[in-house]
């Protein structure tokens, strides 16, 4: 089955919907300020920066956030400020030199301040994901294997989980679905075994469910989609869940149920900016 054709078919139907009649699932919210004990002034300004991530003004705003965080002695928020600048170029999706430049800046700062989370975030979620989005699969695979080797040497389990994450994405693009499934399951296994951050676990489960739909394994697909439903924390996770559940119902030829979940996803894409961006990216991929 053609992955891109299947996704495009689902999203084409999704974007053509005009009449909405369903209410979205209630997603749990993450209190980032409380979780990371962030100064209230810094947190408010961080939210302003986040809201402007698609605007060039975020570059100067991030410099201000970096300075403010330095005055508060908050190196974590300084790393976030650098990631904001990286995100601006990443979401522009066309300036590899700028992406590489800020990936190296984030990695260097993360190393100096002993924050491996941001080191591997910049490498996997931004640089490697950029290559994946550009369908430069061989370069992405080289970087992913290099990152895996480094994370294994350091025994940094979050980095290893990130490596399995991007390897699964690469193999899916290569239509090597068995390898994509194996790597996604290893990512989940490490996340649970080492009690890593489970905030994105819902999306991880729904991706695995979608992969099983692509291989025609309906029982396994719904098993992981049901797991996805138990740990939804955001509108984007909810959106992915609905789209992949619709994909499952298309697989088992229950078009009525597929239509219902497409309508739920469309509701989210209309009301949530992040979901609209996901729709756009999926249609362009």
Residue 221, pLDDT score? 98
37-41, 69-73, 204-208, 225-229: which has the minimum mean pLDDT? 37-41
Predicted confidence (pLDDT) at residue 44 exceeds the cutoff of 70: yes
For residue 17, is pLDDT > 90?
no
Q: How confident is the model at residue 24, as a pLDDT?
A: 37
Q: Please state, in angstroms and rounded to a whole number, the distance separating the CA atoms of residues 11 and 7.
A: 6
Binning pLDDT at 50, 70 and 90, where does residue 283 land?
Answer: low
Reply yes or no on whether the pLDDT at 19 is more than 70: no
The rounded distance, in Å, linking the Cα atoms of 13 and 21 is: 16
Residue 12, pLDDT score: 55
Q: How many CB atoms lie within 10 A of CB 249?
A: 21
Its sign, for the CA torsion 43, 265, 167, 248, is: positive
Residue whose tokens read 């679905």: 177
pLDDT on residue 31: 52
Per residue in 130-160, pLDDT (tens digit) is 999 999 999 999 999 999 999 999 999 999 9
| Location of structure tokens 């991929």 | 285
Give the whole-angstrom CA distance, residue 191 versus residue 203: 13
Nearest C-alpha neighbor of 272 from the set 240, 244, 246: 240
- Would you state the pLDDT for residue 230? 97
Question: Between 177-193 and 201-214, two packed helices, what is the crossing angle to 10 degrees?
Answer: 160
Average pLDDT over residues 239-252: 96
Name the maximum alpha-carbon separation found in the chain: 59
> Whole-prediction pTM value?
0.85
């Amino acid at each position: 089955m053609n992955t891109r054709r299947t996704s495009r078919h689902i999203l084409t139907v999704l974007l053509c919907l005009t009449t909405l009649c369903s209410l979205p699932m209630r997603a749990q919210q993450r209190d980032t300020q409380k979780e990371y004990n962030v100064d209230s002034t810094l947190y408010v300004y961080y939210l302003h920066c986040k809201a402007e991530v698609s605007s060039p003004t975020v570059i100067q705003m991030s410099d201000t956030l970096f300075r403010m965080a330095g005055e508060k002695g908050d190196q974590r928020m300084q790393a976030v400020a650098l990631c904001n600048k990286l995100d601006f170029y990443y979401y522009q999706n066309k300036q590899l030199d700028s992406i590489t430049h800020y990936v190296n800046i984030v990695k260097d700062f993360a190393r100096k301040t002993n924050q491996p989370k941001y080191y591997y975030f910049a490498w996997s979620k931004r640089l490697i994901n950029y290559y994946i989005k550009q369908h430069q699969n061989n370069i992405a695979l080289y970087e992913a294997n290099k990152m895996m080797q480094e994370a294994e040497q350091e025994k940094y389990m979050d980095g290893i989980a990130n490596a399995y994450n991007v390897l699964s994405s690469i193999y899916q693009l290569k239509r090597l679905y068995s390898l994509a499934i194996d790597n996604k399951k290893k990512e989940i296994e490490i996340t649970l075994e080492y009690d890593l951050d489970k905030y994105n676990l819902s999306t991880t489960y729904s991706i695995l469910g979608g992969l099983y739909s692509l291989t025609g394994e309906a029982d396994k697909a719904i098993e992981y989609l049901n797991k996805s439903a138990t740990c939804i924390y955001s509108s984007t996770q909810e959106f992915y869940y609905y789209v992949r559940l619709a994909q499952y119902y298309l697989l088992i030829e229950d078009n009525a149920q597929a239509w219902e979940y497409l309508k739920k996803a469309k509701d989210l894409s209309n009301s949530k900016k992040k979901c609209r961006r996901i729709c756009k990216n999926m249609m362009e991929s």
